[in-house]
Amino acid sequence: MNKPLLHKTALVTGASRGIGAAIAKRLAADGAEVILHFGSGAAEAQAVAAEIRAAGGKASTVQADLAAADGPAKLAAAVTTPTVDILVNNAGVALFAGIDAMSEAEFDRQANINMRSLFFITQKFLPRIPAGGRIINVASAVTRIAFPGIPAYAATKGFVDVLTLQLAAELGKRNITVNAVAPGAIDTQMSAWVRTPEGEQTVAQIQALPGIGQPAHVAGVVGFLAGPDGAWTTGQIVDVSGGTKL
């Protein structure tokens, strides 16, 4: 079996379930040694790592609260490998509240995880990313499509888009690619609404492709960007929304 990421080390944040877990499994299947970060889902992260090892891959777990100011530093200290070839900034939270309903505490938590931690995790791991390394951020289709009830979440993902572009330009001289994937409605615990009758009807009306997006759909694009075929792609936000609101 082809293992394009053999001898590579990948760190995936927010990898205990959903999209992060699927990305970790895909990178491991492609040969990478994967470090799965989790915030509070220790048992879930350990189960994903065990599944990877049972399939013949290499996986370990690390914990850090990315809502805390020292979360990125603690994550950097917990990861002891000298080199991280692939950094996947996946950790994020989506709080569904309009501008009139969101509290300052809720806003700060979402901003800390979705924006601040991504910035400083990237900063702290940059010295360990070698030439040819990859940074892949998980953005969202909501930066090009207005969805009601999530203005703060959408704004945090706009930060991800802009940072991706800026870092791609800055890090190109080191031969490090920086890209983002932008999922739409994906069948995860965070987006459980897509499995309700109303959710399924909404998705059917706004997507070009039939069905509900799966975490593996996103992981496949990440696998491409992390692998040798993605070596000449940088500064891109790759839509993985099934053609939502084309």
Catalytically active residues are 153
The two structure tokens encoding residue 24: 């970790």
- Between CA 193 and CA 245 the distance in angstroms is 18
Residues 6+ apart with CB under 8 A from 132: 85, 175, 176, 231
Q: Which of 245, 235, 216 is nearest to 18 (CA)?
A: 216
Residue 127 tokens read as 């010295």
Type and span of the H or E element at 183: strand 177-183
Bridge partners, 210 (sequence order)? none
User: Bridge-partner residues for 87, per DSSP?
Assistant: 11, 135
Tell me if 241 sits within 8 A of 215, measured CB to CB.
no
Q: Which of 173, 177, 145, 141 is nearest to 160 (CA)?
A: 141
